[in-house]
Amino acid sequence: MVKKRGLFSKIFEIFMVLLTLPVYWVVYYFVINTSFKTQADASRLSLKLPEVWNGVENYKYVLTYNHNMLFKTLGNSLLLSFCSIFILVFVSSATALILQRRKNRICAMSNKLILAGLIVPASVIPTYWVLNRLGLANTMPGLILVEVATLFPFATMMFKDYLMTIPREIDEAALIDGCSPVQLYFHIIFPLLKPITVAVIILRSVVVYNDFQNPQYYMSGSRSQTVQIFIYMFKEAFVADYGHLFAAVILVSLPMIILFIVLNKKVMEGMVIGSVKG
């Protein structure tokens, strides 16, 4: 389909590319540039380069603020993302396998229940009440379980859809060869799920890392706060101190920026596969 492109369409393309300058680049430039400014300079909110390069002080301040709170919260965020995604991948793929391969009333009911979970919002305070009953309120394991439960319907549906494309004959062959059901799951099925597993991991890590609502409700001022809560507190404490605020914004976003640069293609693919059901 080779087609000569008209002058108009070339101009329009240039226009679209140039449009990304004010819409995206100016925003990023503004934030990065301001994060190097002193407080007085930053408060003028201009796009000019800093009068005095105060970046080292700003970033050092944010990093050491409240006794390295950023590092602690970053650690918590990464721990939360890692653990909840790890658990999520195993429990949801196992559930998906059973629900996809077996057909009975319980499976059909579970299916409906999980589908509903894609849509209805999570009830917050009763969840806190349940967690407390389990002795998990305000703890990291409690929050991990909440994240797993919130993401569970989504991940299970993705795995289930993908399992439809894996023929049953593979299972049967494996079982005839003397595979136990557990081996079937771990050695045969799970490796076959790799593309969707990667998508779940990437996509849901972004969601958990950026989650604000669950940590805000379930961690109630606890030591295991996450970076999103850190940036919120920091914002409350330094309302118009844009130099420090933007330095914090950049530091908190850094893991996502790195993820995007390193895994660009995978992230975008994962996003698409993962968003389809929802």
Partner 1 sequence: MKKVLAMVLAFCLIFALCAVNASAEDAKKYEGRRITVAHRYTGANADAVRAEFDKFEELTGCKIDVEVLAADADEAESVLLIRAATGNLPDVFSTNVGAKLWELDPESNMYDLSGNDWLENVNDGYLQITSRNGATYGIPAADSTVAGVFYNKAIFEQLNLEIPKTWDELLAICEILKNNGITPVEQIFGLANGRQFQFLMQYYYVQAEDPEFAAKYSRNEVALHENAAYVRGVEKVYDLWEKGYINEDPLSTSVEVAVNDFMENKYGMVFRNTSWYTAVNQISPEAAANLGFFPMPDIDPDNIGVTLWMPHAWVASQNSKNIDVVLDLFKFLTTQEAIDAYTSVLTPTGAFLLKDVTVNCELSDVIREAQACAAASSAPAMEYSCNIKGSNMATILSMVGTGEYTPEQGIEEIEMDNAIDAQQKGLEGW
Partner 2 sequence: MRRLDKRFYPGWLAVPGLAIYIIIFAIPTFVSFYFSMTTWNLRTATFTGLKNFNTFFSMTSTRSALINTIIYAFSTCSLKVVIGLLLASYICSGIRSGEYLKCMIFFPTLLGSVTVAVAFDGILNPNGILNQFLAKFGIDAVRWLTNSKYAMFSCIVVDVWKGLGTATLIYIAGLSSISKTYYEAAAIDGASPVQNFFKITLPLIVPSINTVLTLSLIGGLRTYEQIYALTGGGPGYSTEVLGSIIYKLFSRGSYGLATAGYVIMFVIVSCIVFPLNSFVNKKGEDING
Q: Which residues inside 53-72 make contact with partner 1, applying CB under 8 A?
A: 66-67, 69
Q: Give residues 218-237 in contact with partner 2 (rule: CB under 8 A).
A: 227-228, 231-232, 235
Find all residues with CB under 8 Å of 199, minimum gap 6, and list them.
158, 269, 270, 273, 274
State the nearest-atom distance from the C-beta of 44 to partner 1, in Å.
10
If we measure between CA atoms, which residue out of 89, 36, 96, 75 comes closest to residue 245?
36
> Locate tokens 């990023």: which residue?
28
The verdict on 254 binding partner 2 (CB under 8 A) reads: no
Q: 98-105: list long-range contacts, CB under 8 Å, 24+ apart.
A: 99/156, 99/160, 100/159, 100/160, 100/163, 100/164, 101/163, 101/168, 101/171
Structure tokens at 73: 């919260």
The verdict on 20 binding partner 1 (CB under 8 A) reads: no
The verdict on 102 binding partner 2 (CB under 8 A) reads: yes
State the nearest-atom distance from the C-beta of 136 to partner 1, in Å.
10
State the nearest-atom distance from the C-beta of 247 to partner 1, in Å.
16
State the nearest-atom distance from the C-beta of 8 to partner 2, in Å.
11
If we measure between CA atoms, which residue out of 210, 176, 205, 174 comes closest to residue 192?
174
Residue 138 contact partner, candidates partner 1, partner 2, none, CB within 5 to 8 A by sort of partner = partner 1
Burial of residue 222 (CB within 10 Å: 0-12, 13-18, 19+) is middle
Q: Give residues 166-195 in contact with partner 1 (rule: CB under 8 A).
A: none
Q: Which of 185, 197, 200, 247 contacts partner 2 by CB under 8 A?
A: 185
Footprint on this chain of partner 1 (rule: CB under 8 A):
39-40, 43, 66-67, 69, 128, 132, 137-138, 220-223, 225, 233, 236-241
